Chains A and B, each alone.
Chain A
């Protein structure tokens, strides 16, 4: 089955992973900007990172006929440095018209601090001024519930935001309902230990239905599994769900959400011919 991984950090993966993902049916992916494992020291560090995301990763993906898209921001972990964050936010527009840039993300909270909230709001302001879609990171573990609720408060407080153009990622059992009730899209991240398993993601599909729900691997430099979406597909099949429902969640839903971005020009895999 063809699928689309809506959240995967391919800069952290080797080229062999692109080949494996292509063999397993991955035809498209979107890659949000995130934390590199260390705090970057200057705006030029981010400029180089954005070049990697918009130039080299798209090329590397095309070698395996995978269509690569990306999102730009300074992540919540580095948002404690408010002055650097503001320099990065001011620089982001240089890249917003590049092919494959879908919007601002993954912005959000990490430890739910005041500075993180300030920079989150300033990212929202940029997205509204430039008419971009938004992809949101919610915190991990004990910070998730509080942080998700704070993020929803800030989003709902800004009347300019079209909720159908916002994806709130890393939802789990205690946060999914609030996200969907407010009309946002919700992403379930299949990630060992700290997020969600394929079986629990299937449970949430059964409990809430497939409307505005996505699944992703968030494959990155940590202990993660870039092939987690195929694991979810298998878990759905073993639970007895029809192929049409699975396809809706892993292929049609991502295309529906991303199609709201002006730089999303997806070619169905049957006719896709990447430039070599």
Chain B
């Protein structure tokens, strides 16, 4: 389904909000730097870095790809053992 607005209209509408949200992220990361202690080894920080990298890529579907960064992995073969265990219990 096409978006009724053209690209220039979308940018006009969204620019200030995107700018504000980027600043909010930048300020939060600065706040982390200024705080005592270290979270360098925290996996959440790695995920934030991965998400920020996706934002700079030209490829689309950024929202979906960032969702996957913040998701636990899924094992497509889980159902077989689950059904077997359920039948035996």
A residues with a Cβ closer than 8 A to B are 112, 114, 117-118, 121, 141-146, 149-150, 153-154, 157, 172-174, 200, 203, 205-210, 238-241
A203 CA / B4 CA spacing, docked (Å): 12
Query: In the complex, are the beta carbons of A146 and B71 less than 8 A apart?
Result: yes
B51 to chain A, nearest CB (A): 13
Query: In the complex, are the beta carbons of B86 and A142 less than 8 A apart?
Result: no
Query: Can you list 21 contacts pairing A with B, beta carbon distance less than 8 Å?
Result: A117-B82, A121-B86, A141-B70, A143-B72, A144-B67, A145-B72, A149-B76, A153-B79, A157-B79, A173-B63, A174-B67, A174-B68, A200-B63, A203-B63, A205-B1, A206-B3, A209-B1, A239-B3, A239-B4, A240-B5, A241-B4
Task: Specify which chain A residues have a CB less than 8 angstroms from the CB of B79 in the assembled complex.
Answer: 150, 153-154, 157
Which residue of B is nearest A148, CB measured?
B74
Describe B's contact surface by its main secondary structure.
Answer: loop
Tell me, yes or no, whether B78 is within 8 Å of chain A by CB: yes
Query: In the complex, are the beta carbons of B76 and A173 less than 8 A apart?
Result: no
B 1-41 binary contact with A (CB < 8 Å = 1; else 0): 11111000000010000000000000000000000000000
A242 CA / B51 CA spacing, docked (Å): 34
Query: In the complex, are the beta carbons of B64 and A174 less than 8 A apart?
Result: yes
B residues with a Cβ closer than 8 A to A are 1-5, 13, 61, 63-64, 67-68, 70-74, 76, 78-79, 82-83, 85-86
Which of A144, A174, A209 gathers most chain B CB within 10 Å?
A: A174
Query: In the complex, are the beta carbons of B5 and A142 less than 8 A apart?
Result: no
Partner of A173, one of B3, B64, B82, B85: B64
Partner of A153, one of B1, B64, B68, B78: B78
A174 CA / B83 CA spacing, docked (Å): 26
Which residue of B is nearest A141, CB measured?
B70
With A114-B85, A117-B82, A157-B79 in contact, is A145–B4 under 8 Å at CB?
Answer: no
A141 CA / B70 CA spacing, docked (Å): 7
Known: A142-B70, A173-B67, A174-B68. 7 other contacts (CB 8 A): A112-B72, A145-B68, A173-B61, A174-B67, A239-B3, A239-B5, A240-B4
